[in-house]
Amino acid sequence: MSVSPSQHIVILGATGSIGASALDVISRHADRYSVFALTAHRDAARLAQLCLQYSPCYAVMADKIAAEELRRLLRDAACRTQVLDGAQALCEVAREPEAHTVIAAIVGAAGLEPTLAAVRAGKKVLLANKEALVMAGQLFMDAVDSANACLLPVDSEHNAIFQALPGNYSRMPAAAGVRRILLTASGGPFRATPLAELETVTPEDACAHPVWAMGRKISVDSATMMNKGLEVIEAHWLFGVPARQIEIVIHPQSIVHSMVDYADGSVIAQLGNPDMRIPLAHALAWPERIGSGVSALDFSGIAALSFERPDFARFPCLALAYRALEAGGSAPATLNAANEEAVKAFLDRRLGFRRIGEVIDATLEQAAQCGAACIEAVLEADARARELACIEIDKRSAA
Say how many domains are in the chain: 3
Q: How confident is the model at residue 371 (pLDDT cuts 50, 70, 90)?
A: confident
Pairing of β 256-262 and β 267-271: antiparallel
171 and 122 within one domain = no
Write the CATH number for 25. Answer: 3.40.50.720
The pLDDT value recorded for residue 109 is 83
305 and 187 within one domain = yes
173 and 147 within one domain = no
Pairing of β 256-262 and β 246-250: unpaired
* Residues forming beta bridges with residue 10, ordered by sequence position: 37, 102
285 and 181 within one domain = yes
The pLDDT value recorded for residue 3 is 40
Res. 378: pLDDT tops 50: yes
231 and 104 within one domain = no
Task: Tell me whether residue 323 is in a domain.
Answer: no
Q: How confident is the model at residue 153 (pLDDT cuts 50, 70, 90)?
A: very high
272 and 199 within one domain = yes
Range(s) of the domain holding residue 194: 156-215+224-312
- The rounded distance, in Å, linking the Cα atoms of 78 and 71 is 10
Task: Tell me whether residue 95 is in a domain.
Answer: yes
Q: Which of 47, 60, 51, 54 is nearest to 16 (CA)?
A: 47
Determine the 3-state secondary structure of 395 from DSSP: helix
Task: Tell me whether residue 320 is in a domain.
Answer: no
186 and 285 within one domain = yes
> Which of 153, 169, 196 delimits the end of a domain?
153
**H helix runs in the chain, sequence order:** 17-27, 44-54, 64-76, 87-94, 112-120, 131-147, 156-164, 203-206, 216-224, 226-239, 277-285, 316-327, 331-347, 355-366, 375-398
Q: How confident is the model at residue 303 (pLDDT cuts 50, 70, 90)?
A: confident
Q: How confident is the model at residue 11 (pLDDT cuts 50, 70, 90)?
A: very high
Mean pLDDT over 318-324 rounds to 97
Mean pLDDT over 270-274 rounds to 96
Mean pLDDT over 265-278 rounds to 97
107 and 85 within one domain = yes
The pLDDT value recorded for residue 215 is 80
Ranking 106-110, 174-178, 198-202 by mean pLDDT, the lowest is 106-110
Q: How confident is the model at residue 82 (pLDDT cuts 50, 70, 90)?
A: very high
Res. 372: pLDDT tops 90: no
Contact status, residue 346 vs residue 352, Cβ threshold 8 Å: yes
The pLDDT value recorded for residue 177 is 98
367 and 270 within one domain = no
- The rounded distance, in Å, linking the Cα atoms of 328 and 383 is 17
For residue 134, what are the CA distances in angstroms to 4, 207, 342, 388? 36, 23, 17, 19
Q: What are phi and psi of 261, to 5 degrees?
A: -100, 125
The pLDDT value recorded for residue 214 is 75
Res. 1: pLDDT tops 60: no
297 and 180 within one domain = yes
Taking only the tens place, the pLDDT of each residue in 328-350 is 999 999 999 999 999 999 999 99
90 and 160 within one domain = no
> Which of 153, 181, 196 delimits the end of a domain?
153
Q: How confident is the model at residue 103 (pLDDT cuts 50, 70, 90)?
A: very high
Q: What is the pTM of this model?
A: 0.92
Q: How confident is the model at residue 2 (pLDDT cuts 50, 70, 90)?
A: very low
Task: Tell me whether residue 180 is in a domain.
Answer: yes
> Which of 105, 138, 153 delimits the end of a domain?
153
Task: Tell me whether residue 322 is in a domain.
Answer: no
147 and 42 within one domain = yes
The pLDDT value recorded for residue 4 is 45
The pLDDT value recorded for residue 398 is 60
The pLDDT value recorded for residue 21 is 97
- Structure-derived torsion over alpha carbons of residues 11, 17, 18, 22, reported in degrees to the nearest 10: 70
